Structures are given as structure tokens and as C-alpha cells.
Amino acid sequence: MKLRIQNGRLIDPSQGIDAVTELFVDNQKIVAIGDAPEGFDDAEVVDASGQWVLPGLVDLAVSLREPGLTQKGNIATEGRAAVAGGVTTLVCAPDTRPIVDTPAVAALIQDKADDAGMANVFPLGALTQGLEGAQLSNMVALTDAGCVALSNHRHPMASTKVLVRALEYAATHDLLVVFHPDETSLSEGGCAHEGLVSTMHGLPGIPEEAETIALMRDLLLVQKTGVRAHFARLSCAKSVEMIADAKASGLDVTADVAVHNLLLNDQVLNRFDGHYHVLPPLRSDEDRLTLIEGIKAGVITAICSDHQPHEKMAKIAPFAATEPGMANIEILLPLAMQLTDEGDLDFLTLLTCLTSGPAACFGLEAGSLSVGSFADFILFDSTARWTWSSENRKTKGHNSPYLGEEFVGRVMATYISGQRVYQVV
């Protein structure tokens, strides 16, 4: 099927394009930008007047909750939420039940995702069996089954020795390892950034050293083992410096940050609202601003939703007893664009970190409108005002402090491989 997307403002940071032009799709792929190739006279026309035509978003951190945690969400609901948020490619976490430590589970997720016909789903495989940190997983088999990288998520390794072995083994087969730097002996029992706010409100703190000590250790081991490494969900100013230094010294590592760590600081915890309970925690404003600087400087090249849907009960408890995480994938782009409102980031940098940036971290063929790519794109109305509510939400999750809030900018339609999978009606 041929598609001709007309009159839209096409923005693709991967090619440096920002112009009102036409996009041509044939047989699932982008075949031209600008002038029509031959044979497009009878193509289906999509009028994108007043809208932006953007590459589909790439989200490196999504918990689909299936298999096993379907009271919180499932592949169909969260896939629908993803495309409603303009996410066409996503990487899902290994902490399902059962855990993604066998090819069967990895295959199951991808099959279900195919059936749902929503976003392209790439599972992360568990680095160790059961994420228990003791015995290495069948990394190669997992990779062959479609796992895009391996990670022990936020679960601790039994020892640094096991970690070294896991990294050496992954390096042997040139596999990508995703680190969530967290020294659990320091973060254990904590639920908030260790600082004035947590001290005042008596919330057990997580010191920034929980992240930076683990990060320093991980960087040393990456250097030693030569493993391909990605650092996920940085939250501290010092972490940005450390990644920058590692990159400067020639280490080929990448890093991402959750969008809420860029927008919020620990001041919001003064209401004891469990919706702001996330891991890593919302930290000081200095940390937040340094993370933004890290994006500007190219130290952090991906922004993710860190989408973690929960059932209602998970957040109905005193702060520390709530389960951590927010479910914001549906509002990822307008939420992230609040960063440009404040003048902190320019839109092109932001869009890069939501498209080609994350795709490059994981070597995914996504996040670009270049000729020959799969036609994953979105139509975005940058001036549309709308309210994201419990009623119109697509995610099964109830847990976002942004539910009920008005946003400027809305994904109006999402296309995957040239197929429209979502449209605002």
C-alpha cells in the first residue's frame, strides 16, 4: 500500500530535516521525502496540515507486565498506550513472572506483541537466571530469541565476581549489557532521595552514592572486560560527570534518563504522594539540572518513559509502602516537551533523545525517517490542548501524578510500517 503524507512539517533529527514537505511510503517502508517517486498518483493521501510528521518514538524502558503481572497491565493494553503516546519501538524489562531468562518467555512476549499489532517490542533478557545474580543466564540463546540486550534490572548481583564473569561472558559474544547502577546495601529500605526533604519528612533516604559507587564499579569493569554497556536511568549529577569522563577517556558507553527525573525534583514529596515514589528516586534540583546539561552535552542520549503501570492498590498506601514507578508512556512527548517550554532544551535535541538517540544506544533500526527505513512515524499536533484522564487513558496503570492534567501537544496518529495503528477520534 502506498501512502503520501502531505502538508505536514516533517522533522527528523537523524537527517537534519525540518521542513514542510511530503513523505512517501510504499510496502511498509519510506521510499522518498520531498518529490514524489513514480507511481504515487493513486497513493492514499494523508493530509497532515498543521501537524508535525515525526519519527516514531523509541522508548528504552517499558514494563509491559506480561507475563505474570497482568493485574497491572498486559502487552495489549500497554502496547496500545505506547502507540497512543507515539512510541513505535520499545524495549521491555525482564522482570516479568516468569522472568525473561529463557528463550520461551522472550518468544512469548514477542508473539503477543505481534498479535497485538502495536509497537515493535524488543525484550531485555535477564543477565542472570531468575535475576538472582548468581548463575548466568543463557545469554546467547536469549539473544537468538530476540532479546536486544541483557540486564539484571535493579536486582543486585550476588557478588562483584559474578558480575565480572557475566560481563566477560557477554563480551565474549559481543552482547550489550544494560546497567541499573545501584549499590543495594546503600539503597535498601530507602524510598526517597537522601536530602533535606526526606530528612524533614522522615522518609528513609537513598544516598546518591548508592548510584555513583555502583556506577564507578561498573565503569571500571566495563573498561576491564570490554563489554558493550548502556547505563539506564541515571539520577545523579555526579553520574553525568562520571559517564562524561568515561566517554572522554574513550570508553564506548551510552546512558539514558527517565523523563520524570528531568522534570521533577524531591520537593514534590512533601505531600507524601506515593505517585512520586520512583526508583531511582526524584533527586535534588541540582541533580535534575545536571541531567539536562548531560543531555545537552550528549552524555545522555536517550530519554525514556520508564513506564511502570500498577493497579490502583499499589499506590494506596503510605509513601514507603507504595510500589515504585509511574505509567507515563501515553504522554511521553508532551511531557518531555515541557522541558523545551522552560527553555532548558531545544526541541531537536529532545526529539533526538526520543528517537534516533535511544535507537543508537541499542543498535535498533528505528527512530529515523530516512529512505529505506520502516515507515514508523507519528502525526503530532503541537498546539492541541487536551486532558489526559483516568477515563481516556489507554494504559491499565492507574499510577501517574499527571492523570487529570492538561497538556499542550498531542499525538494525533501513529503509523507502524506504514499501517495506522492509532488515531485520535
Partner 1 sequence: MMRSEPRALQLNEHGQLKHFLTLDGLDKTILTEILDRAESFLSMGEQSVKKVPLLRGKTVVNLFFENSTRTRTTFELAAKRLSADVINLNIETSATSKGESLLDTLKNLEAMQSDMFIVRHSDSGAAHFIAEHCTPNVAIINAGDGRHAHPTQAMLDMLTIRRHKGGFEGLKIAIVGDILHSRVARSQLQALTTLGVSDVRLVGPKTLVPSFFAEMGATICHDLEAGLKDVDVVVMLRLQKERMKGGLLPSESEFYRLYGLTEETLAWAKPDAIVMHPGPINRGVEISSEVADGKHSVILNQVTNGIAVRMAVMSMAMSGQLQSAESSVAGDDK
Query: Closest distance between partner 1 and the C-beta of residue 401, in Å?
Result: 6
Please report whether residue 146 would count as binding partner 1 according to CB under 8 A: no
The residue range among 46-54, 83-91, 296-304, 310-318 that interacts with partner 1, by the rule CB under 8 A, is 310-318
Q: Which of 141, 320, 348, 408 binds partner 1 (CB under 8 A)?
A: 320
Q: Where are the beta strands (DSSP E) in 56-119?
A: 57-62, 87-92
Q: Using CB under 8 A as the criterion, what x/- string covers residues 178-207 for binding partner 1?
A: -----------------xx--xxxxxx---
Three-class SS of 179-204: ECCCCHHHHCCCCEECCHHHHHHCCC
Q: Are residues 376 and 55 in contact, defined by beta-carbon separation less than 8 angstroms?
A: yes
Q: Interface residues for partner 1 in 255-284 (CB under 8 A)?
A: 270-273, 275
CB nearer to partner 1: give 181 or 195: 195
**CA atoms within a 13 Å half-sphere pointing along the CA-CB vector of 278:** 32
Q: Minimum CB separation from partner 1 for residue 403, in Å?
A: 5
- To partner 1, the closest distance from the beta carbon of 197 in angstroms equals 9
- Is there binding between residue 317 and partner 1 (CB under 8 A)? yes
Binding to partner 1, residues 322-381 (CB under 8 A): 322
Does 130 interact with partner 1 (rule: CB under 8 A)? no
Least distance from C-beta 398 to partner 1, angstroms?
A: 9
| DSSP secondary structure of 324-348 | P-B--GGGHHHHHHHHHHTTSS-HH
The number of residues in the chain equals 425
* Closer Cβ to partner 1, 251 or 320, answer by number: 320
Neighbours of 153 (CB within 10 A): 18
Q: How far apart are CA 357 and CA 366, in angstroms?
A: 10
Nearer to partner 1, 73 or 190 (CB): 190
297 contributes a contact to partner 1 by CB under 8 A: no
Within positions 380 to 419, which residues make up the interface with partner 1, using CB under 8 A?
A: 400-404
Is 166 or 314 the residue whose CB approaches partner 1 more closely? 314
To partner 1, the closest distance from the beta carbon of 322 in angstroms equals 7
- Options 39, 98, 117, 318; binder of partner 1; rule CB under 8 A: 318
Pairing label, strands 57-62, 17-26:
unpaired
For partner 1, which residue of 1, 19, 297, 321 counts as binding (CB under 8 A)?
321
| Residue number with CB closer to partner 1 (195 or 367) | 195
210 binds partner 1, rule: CB under 8 A: no
341 is catalytic: no
Candidates 182, 218, 287, 306; catalytic one: 306
Give the count of residues interacting with partner 1 (CB under 8 A).
27
Burial string for 108-147 (b: 16+ CB within 10 Å, else e) reads bbbebbeebebbbbbbbbbbbeebbbeebbebbebbebbb
> How far is Cα 174 from Cα 163, in angstroms, rounded to an integer?
16
Query: Rule CB under 8 A: is residue 209 a binding residue for partner 1?
Result: no
In what helix (H) or strand (E) does residue 271 lie, and over which residues does it extend? none
Whole-angstrom Cα distance, residue 250 to residue 148?
24
- In angstroms, the CA 229 to CA 171 distance is 10
Q: Reduced to 3 states, what is the DSSP secondary structure of residue 307?
A: strand
Of the pair 188, 365, the CB lying nearest partner 1 is at 188
What single DSSP character describes residue 282? P
Distance in angstroms (rounded) separating the CA atoms of residues 182 and 168:
20
Three-class DSSP category at 374: strand
> Would you say 79 or 190 has its CB closer to partner 1?
190
- Residues at the contact surface with partner 1, assessed by CB under 8 A: 195-196, 199-204, 270-273, 275, 313-314, 316-322, 400-404
The set of catalytic residues is 306
